[in-house]
């Protein structure tokens, strides 16, 4: 709940900045209508507030400022107070008043996103994206809104591709020592989402050696690929980044290249079920066709995601 509240607050601040930059220049010296409508909503409800807005726009447009930012800021104020239904109605009114602004559709999408209505959120984020390029927003505002919409769409689609990994796991790990010999050990890992659902963080502890590690996997909206990186306490040699995708057959494959060693490595997630999956790392030298498996792990679930408390302060010890 705390993370969700924080995420909403961050979005709120950013959207308020966008609306302020976009519309502050038109306000002149009039009083904003937003506070008047907020007071009406607080006393009589959102439908009364909407009627008041329309009535005053017809009769008192010379006294009050009715710019797009007034309703946008009002909607986010209501959303921040936990009044999602009231916020949704205000954002719908803003679309009615300013149908050519992508910001109005983006704000309504944000409400649906926070309510968990992914179908409606997707509809309005896509609408906002389609309108951004030809809008009157500055390049900076366009960049912000484009990125926000893409990140939310990813969170509802590609961002779920690693959801099977959420929870706590025990792994039976094996390392290829060559000549048919394998060294085996047991690890545990806990995983959770971060970055508004666009990434997964996993914390590892080895039961066979005094080592810990922290790894992250995030979806890059510019390349449309996942990136995986991390570091363990026994291998402080810098970050290696793996890039790749999930295929329709449910297999995820990710690659990295070591130019110094002239090798390419890949990791593969396969045989995925609710309570287990397989992971392996293969390597081959440049110019060779055959992949050699260097490490493999069998994951078995210990706890589901809602049963896991990922306390990263343990890394300090």
* Domains by residue range for the chain, with CATH: 2-156 (1.25.40.10), 163-312 (2.40.128.20)
Angle, vertex CA 214, rays to CA 209 and CA 217, nearest 5: 135
Among the listed residues 27, 68, 76, 71, the one whose alpha carbon sits nearest the alpha carbon of residue 52: 71
The CA distance from 300 to 277, in Å, is: 7
pLDDT at 313: 53
One digit per residue, the tens of pLDDT, for the chain of length 317 reads: 444 444 454 444 444 444 444 444 455 578 899 999 999 999 999 999 999 999 999 999 999 999 999 999 999 999 999 999 999 999 999 999 999 999 999 999 999 998 999 999 999 999 999 999 999 889 999 999 999 899 899 889 888 999 999 999 999 999 999 999 999 999 999 999 887 777 899 999 887 766 788 999 999 988 999 999 998 776 666 789 999 999 988 899 999 998 888 999 999 999 999 999 999 999 999 999 899 999 999 999 999 988 887 765 554 55
Tokens 């792994």 belong to: 171
What is the Cα 129 distance to its own chain's centre? 17
pLDDT at 206: 84
The CA distance from 4 to 155, in Å, is: 14
The CA distance from 259 to 209, in Å, is: 30
**Cβ 265 vs Cβ 282: under 8 Å:** yes
CB-based contacts of 181-188 (< 8 A; 24+ apart in sequence): 185/209, 187/297, 188/302
The CA distance from 255 to 197, in Å, is: 23
Tokens 């914390």 belong to: 203
**Cβ 137 vs Cβ 22: under 8 Å:** yes
**Beta-carbon contacts of residue 183 (< 8 Å; ≥ 6 apart):** 174, 175, 177
The angle, 0 to 180 degrees and rounded to 10, between the axes of the packed helices 33-44 and 46-59 is: 140
Angle, vertex CA 159, rays to CA 156 and CA 160, nearest 5: 80
Q: How many CB atoms lie within 10 A of CB 273?
A: 8
């Amino acid at each position: 709940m705390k993370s969700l509240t924080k995420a909403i607050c961050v979005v709120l601040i950013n959207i308020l900045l966008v609306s302020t930059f976009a519309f502050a220049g038109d306000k002149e010296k009039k009083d904003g209508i937003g506070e008047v409508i907020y007071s009406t909503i607080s006393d009589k409800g959102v439908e009364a507030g909407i009627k008041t807005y329309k009535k005053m726009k017809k009769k008192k447009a010379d006294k009050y400022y009715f710019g797009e930012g007034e309703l946008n800021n009002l909607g986010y104020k209501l959303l921040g107070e936990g009044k999602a239904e009231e916020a949704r109605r205000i954002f719908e009114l803003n679309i009615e008043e300013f149908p050519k602004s992508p910001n109005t559709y983006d704000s309504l999408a944000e409400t649906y996103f926070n309510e968990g209505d992914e179908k409606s959120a997707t509809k309005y984020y896509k609408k906002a994206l389609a309108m951004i390029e030809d809008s009157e927003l500055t390049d900076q505002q366009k960049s912000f809104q484009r990125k926000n919409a893409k990140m939310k769409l990813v969170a509802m689609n590609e961002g779920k591709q690693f959801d099977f990994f959420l929870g706590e796991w025990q792994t039976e790990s094996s390392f290829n020592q060559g000549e048919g010999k394998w060294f085996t050990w047991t690890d545990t890992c806990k995983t959770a989402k971060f970055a508004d659902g666009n990434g997964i963080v996993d914390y590892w502890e080895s039961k066979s050696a005094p080592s810990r590690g922290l790894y992250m996997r995030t979806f890059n909206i510019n390349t449309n690929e996942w990136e995986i990186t991390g570091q363990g306490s026994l291998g402080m040699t810098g970050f290696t980044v793996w890039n790749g995708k999930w295929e329709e057959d449910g297999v995820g494959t990710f690659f990295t290249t070591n130019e110094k060693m002239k090798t390419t490595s890949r990791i593969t997630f396969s045989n995925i079920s609710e309570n287990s999956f397989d992971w392996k790392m293969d390597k081959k030298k440049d110019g060779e066709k055959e992949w050699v498996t260097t490490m493999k792990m069998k994951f078995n679930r210990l706890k589901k995601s809602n049963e896991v408390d990922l306390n990263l302060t343990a890394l300090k010890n």
